[in-house]
Amino acid sequence: MALKVPYLADAKLESAATELLRKYAKWKGTPPRPPIPIDDIVEGLLGLSLSIGDLRARLGKDDVLGATWLEDGHVMIDSSLEGNEGRFCFTLAHETGHWVLHRPLIEMEKVTVPLFSREPSAKATPAIICRDGQRDPAEIQADKFAALLLMPASDVRAAARLVQGDPLAVDDLVARKKAGELIPELRALASEVIERGNFSNVSNQAMQIRLETLKLVVDASAPQGRLF
């Protein structure tokens, strides 16, 4: 059962992520710089308990990556992500998105979530279960929130400026992506931005998407990309 949530504009998601970073800066006494310390935001600032374990076996779902038990204030990440820093941190930031964006809705009883138990003997409590490739609105919102949190626009723009002045124009970007083609020039730019901006807990794929969202990569074949 998917969590049904109201529509949230991108600007709202951005302001929620910025607000969380601002709270973290106040709590820590210094503004966070990339790599954004997502573990400390979750365990330190938000006071959630974090565990890493075999979620797939526990919940009987073979594509589950993370889960959040709202009543317990507990986040669990599947152990298959251990050692994959980019995916681990993105999943943790995604669960943070559910906590920040969707927990208040659940508390106001505007939406309901399925019941799951972490321990076989424990009482079942509402949990948000996040699976690979889920595309319902709540999951998309949490994904966007994760990207905004781990890759703040100002930091990505500053790093991209160090790499190249103008946005990267890629021929047939949209069509090539639609065809599932890998785009080496986009991959190379993402890699350089990650390195120059110290985004060491972000995957190349996540940075590629963020660069496109921020229009730091444009389709040279699209009308707005053409000079004449």
Partner 1 sequence: MKERLGERIRRKRAELKLGLRETAAKVGISPTYLSRIETMDEKTPPAEDVIRKLATLLNDNFDELMQLAGRVPEDVEKVIKSDPTMPAFLRTAKQHKLSGDDLMKLLAEKQKGKK
Task: Specify the stretch interacting with partner 1 by CB under 8 A; choose among 47-55, 161-169, 183-191, 202-210.
Answer: 47-55
**Based on CB atoms, which residue is closest to partner 1, 63 or 82?**
82
Q: Residue holding tokens 């799951």?
A: 116
Residue 197 C-beta: closest distance to partner 1, Å: 22
Among 15, 49, 84, 198, binds partner 1 (CB under 8 A): 49
Contacts with partner 1: how many residues (CB under 8 A)?
11
Bridge partners (DSSP) listed for residue 74: 49, 69
125 in contact with partner 1 (CB under 8 A): no
Decide if residue 73 touches partner 1 (CB under 8 A).
no
Selected binder of partner 1 within 14, 40, 72, 172 (CB under 8 A): 40
Considering only 6, 31, 53, 104, the residue that binds partner 1 (CB under 8 A) is: 53
Site residues for partner 1 per CB under 8 A = 39-40, 43-44, 49-53, 79, 82
